[in-house]
Structure 1
Amino acid sequence: MSKKKQEQGSLGDHLNADVLKKLRSKKSELKEQEEVRQEEERKRRLEEKKRKEANKSFEELLNESDLDWKSYKE
């Protein structure tokens, strides 16, 4: 069985070197595009979070506050 595998060789052995180079190039290109897309998504979420924080009403800010007015009451 190992003799058959040796005769068949790997996929890289059967592909033209140029085709293999193009496939590797495409793989790195797609990986780079995915990284750029993830970075843009992260920036978009951060910007949206900042926008929501800036648009909060006084009531929302007060409700999120850890301060307890009862502890300051005399």
Structure 2
Amino acid sequence: MSKKASVITRFTNFVKEVWAEVNPKTGRVTWPTYDTVKAYTFMVIVGTMMASAFIGLVDLFFSRMVMYLLKV
């Protein structure tokens, strides 16, 4: 039973340490501002759309090439 208590105690201590680091009032983590989060989200969405368009065009090109080579 002491093994389980040890696991529970270690987990509890871990959660306390994590909360002490990420607590917005006293923690050591610097959280981004709302404007920064909006800008990064916009960049991720635009980058994802650009990558999707590129992959779609490459797929279209290769599928047309295969169809041309096979004369289908």
- TM-score computed with the length of structure 2 as normaliser: 0.59
Unaligned ranges ≥5, structure 2? 1-16
CA distance in 1, matches of 2:57, 2:27: 44
Letter in 1 for 2:44: K
Structure with the larger RCO, 1 or 2 (CA within 8 Å, 6+ apart): 1
Aligned-residue offset at 1:9: 6.7
Matched, 1:53 2:52: no
| Structure 2 match to 1:31 | 48
Task: Write out the 4+ residue segments of structure 1 that deviate beyond 6 Å after TM superposition.
Answer: none
| Structure 1 match to 2:39 | 22
For residues 14-48 of structure 1, what are the alpha-carbon distances to aligned partners after superposition, in whole Å with 9 as ceiling and x for unaligned?
22211110000000001111111111111011110
Unaligned ranges ≥5, structure 1? 55-74
Instruction: Provide the aligned C-alpha RMSD in A.
Output: 1.9
Q: How many residues align?
A: 52
Aligned-residue offset at 1:8: 2.4
Who wins on radius of gyration, i.e. which is larger?
1
